[in-house]
Amino acid sequence: MAAALQVLPCLVRAPSRLLFWGPPVARLVSGMALSEQARQLFESAVGAVQPGPMLQRALSLDPDGRQLKVRDRSFQLQQNLYLVGFGKAVLGMAAAVEELLGQHLVQGVISVPKGIRAAMEHAGKQEILLKPHSRIQVFEGAEDNLPDRDALRAALAIRDLAERLTADDLLLVLISGGGSALLPAPIPPVTLEEKQMLTKLLAARGATIQELNTIRKALSQLKGGGLAQAAYPAQVVSLILSDVVGDPVEVIASGPTVASTHNVQDCLYILNRYGLRGALPRSVKTVLAQADSDPHGPHTCGHVLNVIIGSNVLALAEAQRQAQLLGYRAVVLSAAIQGDVKSVAQFYGLLAHVAGAHLIPSTAMASVDETVKLRELAAKLQLSDLQLEEVLEVVVEAKGPVCLLAGGEPTVQLQGSGKGGRNQELALRVGAELARWSLGPVDVLFLSGGTDGQDGPTEAAGAWVMPELKSQAAAEGLDVTTFLAHNDTHTFFCRLQGGKHLLYTGLTGTNVMDAHLLLLRPQ
């Protein structure tokens, strides 16, 4: 009961509104609080990747309504259209398809997060909802983004629909972030609980999303091209809202419409790496052994068209545009931030110091050694698209406030049993790093938020911090190190100043990983 009372102030303080649906009109406001500017920029990023508009841009009908065009491919429509989907943004995507192609739709099945319809109804977001007598059946499951029995029922219904299709049919597959947890269908005799336990163990030991998906695909009926195989010989068009760094279609939602290129040896390497091979259930060993001896060899997906319709890059581009309208020199650092959250936090903390020193060179000089160390940290993170040198050039040339934008999905190695998510963990660690450096007469703010509006098993999307965070926490008897050691960042932010550093949006209806904002404003 005591723990519940500790987080109550957060729940009381949480704003009742959800995000604006579409980019807000940016305005240059002298003296506007950095936290308000950061929230506005985060909203613009999320507004740019709403599922309905993106899907409508990806699809077009010819004038007589009988031919569907997707990129440079055309498909005949004659009451032969079926739809399946899974992910956090799929409800809005399905509503958009229904609006555009409803007269051709025969049947649909989608798997979406538990509670999302009620949340959208409460927010009055009718454009996210299906019509009252829709031909699309909706399953809700995967509470706290974990596969469960409800999600399993949805996955089996999706499989059954796909298996009934013929060569005359067209299957639209809608995929977004969270899709993997919403499409669990283990290969017997593996049970849902066994697969979930193995995934949790891997995640807790720091496995990357790519490694997790390799294991998931090997144990799944539908992932790794399984859904495409179930739908054969029907034509399949997958419309994908990416939540994975680099937008690899074989990784997003574990690639249900992409032939897997991994084999059993890849799985065993991953399990060995994290010390789990000896702890495998007998059922998992059985499935891996069967896959190793599959006489049919790897599956192909020549009947499938996979199309990325939205990504983190698009979200960051809109936030960059809005930041420029607010008077910032804005630059995108990377859309591929990944790696251990501790290393990412160290990088952001040192980046703030070096950038701040370039902004006010006469008062807060960064040493050559510190700039070299920043480059070394960047090299260790191995970010494929990092624009560090360009960022430093922009900061040197800037005559006023600077906004550095990034996105991606760092990983957290769980050490404690606290409550939080990777965005709150990153924000708190960056806050601790900022306190280590002399930043001079520059106001600095860092914000990290999940574009889906839900950071881990919490109601917050993320949090924002400033260099004063550590001293403010100490004044309230909060030890940052202790909360980090227990991965209890949500409890920390709930207690700190009544929860005002938490970012609340509600479920956004989209998901393109996380957005990071580093604002530097000379005083």
H-helix or E-strand containing 346?
A: helix 341-359
On the question of a cis peptide bond just before residue 248, with omega within 30 degrees of 0, the verdict is no
The model's pTM: 0.83
pLDDT tens column, 405-414: 999 999 998 8
10 Å CB burial of residue 296 (0-12, 13-18, 19+) is: exposed
Q: Nearest CA to 521 among 442, 445, 436, 446?
A: 442
Which pLDDT score, from 0 to 100, does residue 409 have? 92
- Measured between alpha carbons, how far is 298 from 316 in angstroms, rounded to an integer? 37
Q: Nearest CA to 148 among 190, 186, 192, 203?
A: 192
Which pLDDT score, from 0 to 100, does residue 294 have? 57
pLDDT tens column, 254-276: 899 999 888 899 999 999 999 99
Which pLDDT score, from 0 to 100, does residue 227 have? 97
pLDDT tens column, 271-324: 999 999 988 999 999 999 987 665 444 567 899 999 999 999 999 999 999 999
Whether the pLDDT of residue 246 is over 70: the answer is yes
Which pLDDT score, from 0 to 100, does residue 507 have? 85
- Measured between alpha carbons, how far is 321 from 106 in angstroms, rounded to an integer? 41
Handedness of CA 74, 79, 84, 89 (dihedral sign): positive
- From residue 336, alpha-carbon distances to 13, 206, 332, 385 in Å are 33, 17, 11, 7
Which pLDDT score, from 0 to 100, does residue 363 have? 54
Q: Are 443 and 475 in contact (CB under 8 A)?
A: no
Q: How many C-beta neighbours within 10 Å does residue 257 have?
A: 29
pLDDT tens column, 49-73: 998 889 888 999 998 889 999 988 9
Tell me the mean pLDDT in the region 163-191: 96
Q: What is the DSSP string of 435-469?
A: TTS---SEEEEEEEEETTS--SSSS--EEEE-TTH
pLDDT band at 9 (very low <50, low <70, confident <90, very high): very low
Half-sphere exposure of 257 (CA within 13 A, CB side): 29
Tell me the mean pLDDT in the region 367-380: 90
pLDDT band at 30 (very low <50, low <70, confident <90, very high): very low
Q: Nearest CA to 427 among 331, 332, 319, 341?
A: 341
Which pLDDT score, from 0 to 100, does residue 366 have? 63
- On average, the pLDDT of the chain sits at 89
CB within 8 A of 114, min separation 6: which ones?
A: 140, 141, 142, 143, 150
Which pLDDT score, from 0 to 100, does residue 362 have? 63
pLDDT tens column, 195-219: 989 988 998 898 987 798 889 899 9
pLDDT tens column, 109-146: 999 999 999 988 888 888 889 999 999 999 999 998 88
Which pLDDT score, from 0 to 100, does residue 91 have? 95
- Domains of the chain, CATH where assigned: 50-310 (3.40.50.10180), 312-522 (3.40.1480.10)
CB within 8 A of 170, min separation 6: which ones?
A: 68, 75, 76, 77, 80, 81, 82, 234, 235, 236, 237
Question: What DSSP character marks residue 277?
Answer: G
Which pLDDT score, from 0 to 100, does residue 293 have? 62
pLDDT tens column, 385-427: 999 999 999 998 998 999 999 999 999 988 888 999 999 999 9
Which pLDDT score, from 0 to 100, does residue 141 have? 97
